[in-house]
Amino acid sequence: ETKPYSRAELGTLPSATLAAIDDFEIYADGLGSVCWPGRTDVRGLLFELSRLIVFGPRSVEVYPDGCRKPAVGQELNKRARVTLLGVLPLHRRTQQPLTDERSCVLFEEKLRAKLRASDAKAEHVSWDRVTGDWTFHVEHF
């Protein structure tokens, strides 16, 4: 689904409005969201959103392999806030969440390291050790 307009509403908006959607956000229940602060031009993207933004457990991919990626700063290839839900450290054998202090500290450092190693110039914002909600900014995709 999308905000501030639903997908159905987006289909009825004039081109001039679609060219400058404020704080455009797409989300998948139980998985997470991506929000592009400021104005975003979504003209020509409405029928492709499901293909351009793919959510999975503890992950999201914007412009996956095989999709045409615009220049940095254009369309959705610009600064965004990503929130992934349920990103928790899991016990290797039981796959149950680990809640002890040491595991949580090490896991959060792993998340930060993952961002430092990414090509997207990503910046850690927060991680909730109870819910597993992880928020970070990317400069582009």
Q: Structural domain boundaries of the chain?
A: 2-138
Nearest to 82 by CA among 132, 28, 34: 34
Cross-strand bridge partners of residue 21: 40
pLDDT in tens, 85-106: 999 999 999 999 999 999 999 9
The CA-based angle 71-115-66, given to 5 degrees, is 40
Question: What confidence score (pLDDT) does residue 118 get?
Answer: 86
Residue that has been written with the tokens 């090509």 in this structure:
119
pLDDT in tens, 17-74: 999 999 999 999 999 999 999 999 999 998 899 999 999 999 999 999 889 999 999 9
Name the pTM for this structure. 0.93
Q: Which fold has domain 2-138?
A: c-terminal autoproteolytic domain of nucleoporin nup98 (3.30.1610)
Question: What confidence score (pLDDT) does residue 66 get?
Answer: 85
Omega before 57 within 30 of 0, i.e. cis: no
Looking at residue 129, what DSSP letter applies? Answer: T
